[in-house]
Amino acid sequence: MAINNRYEFMFYIQCRNGNPNGDPDLGNAPRMDPQDMHGYITDVAIKRRIRNYVQAAFSGRPGMEMLVKSATNINTGIARAKDFAGVDVSAKGKNEVYAGRRAACEHFFDVRTFGAVMSTGPNAGQVRGPVQLTFARSLDPISAQDIAITRMAAAKDVAGAKTVEDYLKWEAEQSEDSLRTMGRKQFIPYGLYEARGFISANLAQETGFDEADLKALFEAILNMYEHDRSASKGEMAVITPLVIFRHVGTDSDESQRARQAKLGCAPAHRLFELVEVKKKPDVDCPRDRSDYTAHIHLEKRPAGVDIGFMTSPYGDIVWNQVPEDAEFFG
């Protein structure tokens, strides 16, 4: 059964001595706003890590496959969806397209969650997903650095080499310096990024996004960098807690309260304003989350909205009070 409550959520991503999201058009430099020098991480980059985690953590479970996977053809997944539906993959009539769309929502977590454009190739239509993410934006300007590095080995094609001995003979004839190369590396010393998300109960009815999917989404957000280590992202982490706003309604009439819970009881931007994270006055260059103060104004919580905190990817959500093990808001 699809979720019946509207949600918003927000979380913080810490990056230390890494590249949170490189721009391929700028030599993989960390992405930033050129006007105020604040960094950002695209929604696509965050979704990629959510997909990767769910794919690894829920492998083999029905309904938890991914349509958008690395180094694959999306049209193959669209064809599989129509095959799941028991219709001709090449058929593009209205009924066949809709059957493929419905099957894609049933079998692919990312379609059910984020939606997908599946009107290419075999054509299974389009799905507007209930979960949408913003770009994550750093709380302060970042200092993007481009440093030179030395690679102690070369990677050159050797003309006429066909055996290991040919390559060894060529190496022996080269000078030591010619077998070294230079490279470059882009990184930031530190950045704390705020990301925001929205979950529509109305769109969830269309895709079948349910409570189990919601739990898997939150688990993936808290764990996504724990299984995505690399030289550029070795010290990236989601700082707990994940902050969740759940609309529950206020009306004494049950049907009207359910309507309010689905449509919402307060504007999303007003809810995000309840969370206040600031750099400490005596800190010039933040290098850790402890260089910030964090506070959430629970006393200003609007009627009909619960505020939840999730500090563990496998734990429960604590509603309307800050948990003792929260890294922020403590």
What pTM was estimated for this model as a whole? 0.92
Q: What pLDDT digit, counting tens, does each position of 172-210 carry?
A: 999 988 888 888 889 999 999 999 999 999 999 999 999
CA pseudo-torsion sign 197, 202, 205, 211? positive
Q: Report pLDDT for 330.
A: 59
Q: What is the mean pLDDT of each run of 10 residues along the chain (330 residues)?
A: 97 96 92 96 97 96 95 95 96 96 98 97 96 98 91 86 92 88 90 98 98 98 92 89 97 97 97 96 94 95 97 96 86
What is the model's pLDDT at position 242? 97
pLDDT in tens, 113-156: 999 999 999 999 999 999 999 999 999 999 999 888 888 888 88
Query: What are the residues whose beta carbons fall under 8 Å from the beta carbon of 276, sequence distance 6 or more?
Result: 294, 295, 296, 297
Asked whether 128 and 86 are in contact (CB, 8 A), the reply is no
Q: Contact 186/19 with Cβ under 8 angstroms?
A: yes
Predicted pLDDT of residue 256:
97
Q: How far apart are the first and last CA of the chain?
A: 35
d(CA 247, CA 251): 12
Name the maximum alpha-carbon separation found in the chain.
87
What pLDDT is stored for residue 163 in this prediction?
94
Question: Looking at residue 152, what is its pLDDT?
Answer: 85
Count of Cβ atoms closer than 10 Å to residue 77 Cβ? 24
Whether the Cβ atoms of residue 143 and residue 189 lie closer than 8 Å to each other: yes
Q: State how far the Cα of 228 lies from the Cα of 129, in Å rounded to an integer.
A: 24
CB-based contacts of 128, cutoff 8 Å, min separation 6: 115, 203, 206
